[in-house]
A and B are shown apart, each in its own frame.
Chain A
Amino acid sequence: MKKSTILFLATLSFYAFMNHGGGIYKTNTGNISFYSHTPIEDIRAVNHKVKTAFSSESGQLQFSCLIKDFEFKKALMQEHFNENYMESTTFPKATFNGNIKSIAAIDFSKDGTYTSEVIGKLTIKDVSKEVATTGTFVVSNGVVNAKATFNVNPYDFNVKIPKMVAPKISKSIEISVDSDYTHNH
């Protein structure tokens, strides 16, 4: 019985230790913007309330943001974005879960600039798609700034665009990510 108790405690502490295994960098004020360019109209929006974190050990990287937090210059566009295109009451969030491939090459204790391939699953309107891009990581005073850009096709994510409006919305929307991560103890 005693042995089993020890084992039990060992399991618990092991668990606790593993989950605490430092190296989580996170922020709740990451930025994601998108830009749709067509000859007829340019559309931009930005979200400043993105939750994102990565593990400096495993390289796992996550993003989560609310669709309604995307801010447009034109209020009517924002309304149509939420109401007609993204249906944000039904699908409130967009998420990304992926990996920083060359995480081991980044030295978080030293200032410097690094690049790494980032691959993962982007989920919008409950549709998941693999995306890959190159991320730039700038370590400065313990803060990690990460930037990346990639393109998505709205038709891949079940965004329905009426024929009349289709020429105004790009089939390759540029998404830019820019976040300052701080170490989480």
Chain B
Amino acid sequence: MRNFIYNFHLKFQLIAVLIAFNGYVFSQDLNLIDDNDTEEKTYTIATFKTNRIVNGHSIETFAKNEFDFKISHRFGIVNNGFYDLFGLDQASMRMGGDFGITDNLNIGFGRSTVEKTYDGFVKYKFLKQSIGPKPIPLTGVFMSHMGINTLKWSHPERNNLFSSRLHFTHQLLLARKFSKNFSAQITPTLTHLNIVKNNNLSNDVFSVGIGARQKLFTRVSVNFEYFYVFPDQLESNSSNALSMGFDIETGGHVFQLFFTNAYSPFEKGFITDTKGKWIDGDVRFGFNIARIFDF
């Protein structure tokens, strides 16, 4: 019996030697490279397709020296029916450009037909989602927006102050790309109106935005955005801006086609001046067209 075990061992060892030798001589698949990745810090890219979700900003910033030319339209309300071609007879328009001073610091300017508003913003990305060592779960951006209403004074005989024309919106944008297809964002927002219609309305309006995108195809995503304004700050007939649409990307262009109840394309407007209610069909078709130029 002992002899048998011994023989067995011997044979086994011989076979092992042969296999080892065999493996060495004929194998083409030796691993010469130590390819067990010492995990590198990798920043998440493309959380959203462009720097707007629908109306509001996304956490995306343009890279240094990129200039993004944007034209936005929001048409009239859809439920006026065929007479207005479902709202296409009227439109508000904003034309603007956003520029990357650095990869993390962007500025932008624009002019809207709504209240003949000139507006500008500064946006700074202070936190970047990453994987690898010391991963960061979120991307954080601070955005500050200012608008100037340049309509003629409705009561020119009064002592009108320039400061009455100004409004400001400050946002903290926090977003996470949960998977390669799904991203979500939460946006605590403070809007300051230098002038309000009456004493019952507050000059500071607090709201919180939520936004999300789900990619349908490589270059197409469906987007959702909602700004919840905390109660008792605005006129009672105000409503919250709710928007849904698609991002379609074609090389240097991004087309955003959407439905929204907001008429105004800038922050103060769509957060505090939205009156239309989805439930009543006060919905508008709109689009943003963006083209990136590289300098």
Contacts and interface: CB of A to CB of B under 8 A. Distances in A.
B279 interface: no
Interface string B15-45: 0110011001000111111110100101001
B219 A84 contact: yes
Contacts of B35: 51, 64
A83 B46 contact: yes
B127 interface: no
B32 A75 contact: no
Nearest to A78: B45
Contacts of A105: none
A125 interface: no
B28 to A, nearest CB: 7
B13 interface: yes
A42 interface: no
B81 interface: no
A103 interface: no
A7 B10 contact: yes
Contacts, number: 87
Interface residues of A, number: 43
Given A55-B30, A97-B29, A76 B9 contact: no
B250 interface: yes
Interface residues of B, number: 36
Interface string A6-40: 01101100110011000010100000000000000
B21 A14 contact: yes
Nearest to A24: B32
A74 B293 CA distance: 10
A74 B292 CA distance: 11
Given A75-B63, A79-B45, A164-B251, A62 B33 contact: yes
Interface string A167-184: 010000000000000000
A3 interface: yes
B14 interface: yes
Most chain A CB within a 10 A radius of its CB, from B21, B249, B251: B251
A160 interface: yes
Contacts of B33: 26, 51-53, 62-64
B4 to A, nearest CB: 13
A89 B24 contact: no
Interface in B232-291: 249-252
Contact of B9 (A4, A51, A97): A4
A73 to B, nearest CB: 8
A90 interface: yes
Given A4-B10, A99-B28, A164 B45 contact: no
A80 B63 CA distance: 13
A76 B14 contact: no
Complex A-B, nearest 6 residue pairs according to Cβ-Cβ distance, in ascending order: A75-B63, A53-B32, A7-B13, A4-B9, A83-B46, A18-B24
A60 interface: yes
Interface in A43-93: 51-55, 58, 60, 62-64, 66, 68, 74-76, 79-80, 82-84, 87, 89-90
A169 to B, nearest CB: 10
B20 A83 contact: no
9 contacts: A14-B21, A26-B33, A53-B32, A58-B30, A74-B294, A75-B66, A76-B63, A80-B251, A89-B180
Given A64-B35, A76-B252, 20 more contacts: A1-B6, A1-B9, A3-B10, A4-B6, A4-B10, A11-B13, A11-B20, A19-B24, A26-B32, A53-B32, A55-B30, A55-B32, A60-B28, A68-B42, A74-B63, A75-B103, A76-B63, A84-B218, A160-B218, A164-B251
Given A60-B28, A76-B292, A97-B28, A18 B63 contact: no
Contacts of B45: 79, 82-83
A88 to B, nearest CB: 9
B267 to A, nearest CB: 25
